[in-house]
């Protein structure tokens, strides 16, 4: 996938308008992992996510990701890919399975797969990445209040100290005064103080405060919190943290992989090191976690994805790629790890909490007609998905319910209008 990103960065000016195309091929199973079999070669999710994001950046070109089942002859695949360059410019996701051509639609359905959820309670074991983020900390507090369980909190930020005066001042809300003091501290160290340096230090204090709030919430609920400072890209460091879990509990009831960062730039403006950082925190982090967990019992794995992973988004080729990879990974659990419930949540922007709730972003979202997710709706979603009900591979939070991606049979020879939105029942058409 990274080679694809490098190639398309070089070709960005050329694959841009009418008569040009990018057609990617995957072998997820022919229905992009949305059928009952799940994704059979989930690494293709990274290619799918990248391609959908590129389609958003280069809307004048024909851009598609075409999925095949494992039984397709290579010559047939080549012929079908060639044909896709000549038809249906509005369809970004196409699949071939069982002699039929499929697209992907959305339907609003209850997030209930008909199976009982996990019994979360005292002694339940949670492993959470990205634990110093404000949204994640709020979800941890909700899970802790409902369970009183044991939490292993992983984040790149250092372990917070309960007696840290900077955290105490931050929690009191004296932000402007604290910024002035940080400015003076930087100058006292003989460094050239800049607003950017102050904001960076304030961000570190905020994450420390948020991490400490998560720890306190777990302890207030009668649970046990273990904080692990871990770079998820470091396989050995992840392994050491998971080994603590193995030694203390021998199992993980809920793995919540919520770590990630986003750096929005169009592909030619995005340096490869930035691309790698955004992708690797999510993707390498996931692989390092699953490799370390190995055959240890795992009740549910919940991954934080994004609308950018589902539909692609301009400036976020790396973020879209990593998120769709995670979605396809949990889809593959239907066969690869059937005892583990796999849940992917494609979040939109949150209101009242998180980075998107600050500054002018809420006004921009409103002007664009995009509903932000109220915190009181989003926070309990993970508890309900993992503990109170089962879910069939992925959830799309919407204003009035849940939308789930489903394969739909494409019309042969005719255009598929729009971007693969199906207003029907959302079931495969046979």
Q: What is the pLDDT of residue 112?
A: 57
Q: What is the pLDDT of residue 393?
A: 36
Contact 317, 354 (CB under 8 A): no
Q: What is the pLDDT of residue 322?
A: 97
Name the pTM for this structure.
Answer: 0.87
Token pair belonging to 62? 């024909």
Q: What is the pLDDT of residue 135?
A: 94
List, in sequence order, every beta strand (DSSP E) within 296-361.
Answer: 298-306, 341-347, 350-351
Token pair belonging to 64? 């598609």
Contact 402, 377 (CB under 8 A): no
Q: What is the pLDDT of residue 398?
A: 30
Question: What does the pLDDT profile of the chain (430 residues) look like in tens digits?
Answer: 899 999 999 999 999 999 999 999 999 999 999 998 999 999 999 999 999 999 999 999 999 999 999 889 999 999 999 999 999 998 999 999 988 999 998 888 766 554 556 788 999 999 999 999 999 999 999 999 999 999 999 999 999 999 999 999 999 999 999 999 999 999 999 998 999 999 999 999 999 999 999 999 999 999 999 999 999 999 999 999 999 999 999 999 999 999 999 899 999 999 999 999 999 999 999 999 999 999 999 999 999 999 888 999 999 999 999 999 999 999 999 999 999 999 999 998 888 887 777 667 777 777 777 788 999 999 999 998 887 543 333 333 332 233 456 566 554 333 322 223 232 223 332 2
Rounded-to-integer distance, Cα 140 and Cα 145, Å: 9
Rounded-to-integer distance, Cα 226 and Cα 358, Å: 30
- What is the residue-wise DSSP string for 258-312? ---------GGGS-HHHHHHHHHHHHHHHHHHHHHHTTS-EEEEEEEEEHHHHH-
Q: Determine the CATH number of domain 125-163+206-399.
A: 3.40.50.720
Q: What is the pLDDT of residue 116?
A: 57
> Strands 401-409, 393-398: parallel, antiparallel or unpaired by DSSP?
antiparallel
Q: What is the pLDDT of residue 352?
A: 80
Rounded-to-integer distance, Cα 206 and Cα 227, Å: 16
Contact 342, 331 (CB under 8 A): yes
Task: Give, as one character, the DSSP assignment of residue 161.
Answer: P
Give me the residues paired with residue 154 across strands. 129, 228
Contact 58, 18 (CB under 8 A): no
**Would you kindly state where each structural domain of the chain is located, as residue ranges?**
2-108, 125-163+206-399
């Amino acid at each position: 996938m990274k080679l694809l990103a490098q190639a398309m960065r070089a070709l960005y000016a050329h694959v841009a308008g009418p008569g040009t195309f990018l057609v990617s091929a995957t072998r997820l199973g022919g229905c992009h992992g949305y059928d009952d079999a799940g994704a059979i070669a989930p690494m293709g999710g990274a290619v799918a996510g990248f391609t959908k994001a590129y389609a958003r950046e280069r809307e004048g070109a024909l851009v598609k990701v075409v999925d095949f089942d494992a039984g397709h002859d290579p010559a047939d695949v080549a012929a079908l890919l060639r044909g896709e360059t000549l038809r249906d410019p509005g369809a970004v996701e196409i699949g071939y399975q069982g002699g039929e051509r499929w697209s992907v639609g959305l339907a609003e359905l209850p997030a209930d797969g008909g199976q009982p959820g996990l019994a979360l309670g005292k002694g339940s074991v949670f492993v959470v990445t990205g634990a110093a983020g404000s949204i994640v900390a709020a979800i941890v507090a909700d899970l802790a209040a409902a369970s009183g369980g044991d939490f292993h909190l992983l984040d790149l930020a250092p372990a917070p100290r309960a007696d840290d005066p900077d955290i105490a001042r931050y929690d009191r809300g004296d932000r402007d005064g604290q910024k002035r003091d940080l400015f003076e501290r930087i100058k006292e160290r003989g460094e050239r103080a800049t607003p950017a340096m102050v904001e960076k230090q304030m961000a570190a204090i905020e994450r420390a405060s948020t991490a400490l709030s998560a720890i306190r919430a777990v302890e207030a609920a009668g649970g046990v919190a273990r904080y692990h400072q871990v770079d998820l890209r470091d396989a050995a460091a992840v392994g050491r943290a998971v080994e603590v879990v193995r030694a203390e509990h021998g199992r993980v009831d809920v793995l919540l992989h919520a770590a990630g960062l986003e750096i929005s730039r169009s592909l030619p403006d995005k340096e490869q090191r930035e691309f790698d950082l955004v992708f690797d925190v999510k993707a390498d982090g996931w692989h390092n976690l699953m490799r370390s967990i190995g055959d240890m019992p795992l009740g549910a794995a919940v991954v934080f994805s994004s609308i950018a992973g589902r539909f692609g988004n301009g400036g976020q080729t790396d973020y879209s790629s990593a998120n769709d990879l995670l979605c396809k990974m949990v889809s593959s659990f239907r066969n690869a790890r059937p005892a583990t419930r796999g849940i992917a949540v494609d979040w939109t922007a949150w209101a009242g909490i998180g980075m998107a709730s600050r500054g002018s972003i809420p006004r921009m979202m409103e002007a664009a007609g995009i509903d932000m997710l109220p915190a009181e709706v989003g926070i309990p979603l993970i508890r309900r998905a993992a503990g109170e009900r089962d879910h069939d591979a992925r959830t799309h939070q919407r204003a009035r319910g849940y939308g789930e991606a489903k394969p739909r049979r494409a019309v042969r020879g005719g255009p598929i209008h729009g971007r693969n939105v199906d207003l029907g029942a959302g079931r495969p058409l046979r």
